[in-house]
Structure 1
Amino acid sequence: MPKTPAPLYEQIRQLIVAALAAGEWRPGDMLPSEAALAQRFGASPGTVRRALDELTAENLVERRQGSGTFVSTHSAPRQQFRFLRLVADDGEQGFTRELLGCRRMRATAAIAHALGLRAAEPVIEVRRLLHRRGRPVVLDELWLPERHFEGLSADVLAQHPGTLYALFETRFGVHMVRAEEKLRAVAAAPEVAALLRVGEGEPLLCVERLAYTYGDRPVEFRRGFYYTSSDHYSNELN
C-alpha cells in the first residue's frame, strides 16, 4: 500500500528544520516573514503559520510579539536553564560552576551505544560541580563526540561565562533541541559523596540525559547526581 504523503504543513516544517540543520539560519537569527516563507515553499501563509506553530511547540523557534519569529538560542535568558530542572525550594535562581576536568578519552561501550558511535571512538569528558548557597548541589559528568567538539578544552570552558549549551551553539555550531532523561534514586558512592560533601550512602537523585541536535542526532550523554535537601526536580506535564 503506497505511503500517504505528510500534510503540507508537516512537509514545510521538515524543510525548515533541514534549513536550520544546514545552518541557513543560526540560533538567534530572525526567520523570513510568513509571506516570504509561503512564497518560498509555494504554500499559503496559513499553512506556513501552522508549520511555525509546530516548531514553536518544539522550542525550535520563538515568536516575539511585534518582532517576528527567531531561531531559539540557549543564550536567551528564558532558554538558559531549559534542560536543568533542579529548582531551589526557596526560589533562589542560578548556580556557580566549578570545573573539575575536561579530557579526551575513548568511549566506553555504554557511551558509544548512547551516542551512536563506533567502539572506542574519541569523546570529550567534562566533569563539573554546580554550587548553590555556597555548597555543591549537582555533580555533572558529560560525554561529547570529539568530531563535533574538536578544540573543546578546560581553557575554553573557563573563558565562557554562559551555559554549556550556549557555548556549544556559538563556538561549535551544535544546537541542542531536545533531550530524554531517566531518573533514579541512588546511594552516594565514596567519590561522589566526597565531591558533594554528603555522607557515603546518602540518597541522591541520578539523572541520565541524552541530548539531541537537529535530525534527532544524539550529541551529548550526561549523568548528573543531584543533592536535593533544599532543591527539587521540577517538570511541567501538559
Structure 2
Amino acid sequence: MSQNTPSNTAGGASSAPQAEGLGAAATPAFSPLYQQIKSLILQSLQAGEWKPGDTIPSEFELAARYRVSQGTVRKAIDELAADNLLVRRQGKGTFVATHAEQHTQYRFLRLQPDVGDQRSEGPAERNIVECRRLRAPAEIARLLGLRSGDPVLQVRRVLAFHGTPAILEDLWLPGVPFKGLTLETLAGDRGPMYALFEAQFGVRMVRAEEKIKALAADAESAPLLGVAPGTPLLSVERLAYTYNDVPMELRRGLYRTDTHHYRNELS
C-alpha cells in the first residue's frame, strides 16, 4: 500500500490511520475515510505543495493518488471549502483560498461602521508604530506554542478610517517563519497584512479564536487612539492559526466604538 493511501474498510472508515504522518494522536480510531483524505490534503497545503491561489489536482486525480473513490475525495474537498481553505470555481476547478482575493480581505476584520459597511468604507489607513525582535515572554511563548525565550516579532500599529484612529493593535509572530519581516516591509505594503504573510512568508491564517472584553483607555493607549484616558474601549485578543491548528499570530487590539461596532455572525 502506498504511504499516502489510507485503508478503505467496509463502511468507509478506518480503525487506524494508515497515511505517513498521521499518528494516533492526529486521527482518532474509526476516523471516516474522507476525514483521512482531508488530513492528507491539509498536509500537502501545510507543506506548500499547493500554494494560495494555486489550482489543486482534480477529484479524479486525487482519487487515483489516494486510491479512493471520487465521492470520498469530493466530501473531503466539500469540508475544506466550507472551512474557507479551498474555493470551488464552476468550470475552472478547485483553488487554494487566499487572503489576496477581494471577497476575503475583510474576513478577519469585524469592526464595522455604524453607517454603511466595511467595503464601502474602504481599507483602513495603517501606521506602523513599532516593529522589533525579542525573546518571547513566557505567556506569549505558551500561546504561540514556543519555548520561553524563543525569538518573536512584536508589531504595534494603529488603524484609522478617514483620518480617525479606530484600532490600536499589538501583534506577536514566531520569529522563525517570519524571518526577514521588517518595519519597512510592513509600512511599504498597502494590501491586507495576511496577504503579505502568504506572499512573502508562505504563512496562511485559516482560522482564529477571539476573547473580547471591555476596558478603559490608559495613559499609553489614549494618545494613540486620540481619546481621553478612561474612555471605554473594546479589547479583542485573537490567536490565529495556520493549517493543522498551528498557532502563528497573537494579536491584542483596542477598539474605539464611538462610530463603529464589533460585528459577528453565528451559524
Normalization by structure 1: what TM-score?
Answer: 0.96
Gaps of 5+ in 2: 1-14, 17-27
TM superposition shift of 1:119: 1.1
Residue in 2 aligned with 1:152? 181
Where in structure 2 are the equivalents of 1:32-111 lying within 5 Å?
32-91=57-116, 92-111=121-140
Superposition deviation, residue 133 in structure 1: 2.3
- Residues 127 and 187, structure 2, Cα contact 8 Å, conserved in 1: no
Corresponding residue number in structure 2 for 1:122: 151
1:171 is aligned, of 179, 189, 200, to: 200
Q: Distance in 1 between matches of 2:110 and 2:37?
A: 32
Q: 1:139-167 CA deviation, whole Å, 9 max, x = no partner?
A: 01100111111111011112222111111
Q: 1:29 aligns to what? A: 54
Superposed, 1:129-144 pairs within 5 Å as 129-144=158-173
Instruction: Tell me which moved more, 88-97 or 144-153.
Output: 88-97
1:232 aligned onto 2:261 = yes
| Helix, strand or coil at the partner of 1:148 | coil
Q: Deviations over 1:48-75 (max 9, x none)?
A: 1110110011111111122211101111
Q: Does 1:4 align with 2:23?
A: no
Rounded to whole Å, the distance in 2 between the matches of 1:155 and 1:94 is 19
Task: Give the unaligned 5+ runs of structure 1.
Answer: none
> Residue 208 of structure 1 corresponds to which residue in structure 2?
237
User: What code does the residue aligned with 2:152 have?
Assistant: V
What's 2:217 paired with? 188
Shift of 1:5: 2.5
Question: How far does residue 34 in structure 1 lie from its aligned partner after superposition?
Answer: 1.2
Over residues 152-185 of structure 1, what are the superposed CA-to-partner deviations in whole Å (9 max), with x where a residue is unaligned? 1011112222111111111111111111000000
Q: CA deviation at 1:39?
A: 1.3
The separation in 1 between residues aligned to 2:39 and 2:150, in whole angstroms, is: 30
Distance across 2 between alignment mates of 1:64 and 1:199: 49
CA deviations on 1:79-138 (whole Å, 9 max, x unpaired) are 112111111112223211111111111212211111111112211111111111210000
Opposite residue 170 of structure 1, the aligned amino acid is A
Normalising by structure 2, what TM-score? 0.86
CA distance in 1, matches of 2:256, 2:91: 42
Higher relative contact order (CA 8 A, sep 6+): 1
Task: Kindly report the root-mean-square deviation, in angstroms, between the aligned alpha carbons of the 2 structures.
Answer: 1.4
SS of the equivalent of 1:190 reads coil
Deviation at 1:232, TM superposition (A): 0.8
Letter in 1 for 2:232: P
Aligned pairs, number: 238
Q: Secondary structure at the match of 2:203?
A: coil
| Amino acid paired to 1:12 | I
Q: Secondary structure at the match of 2:160?
A: strand
Residue 233 of structure 1: how far off its partner (Å): 0.8
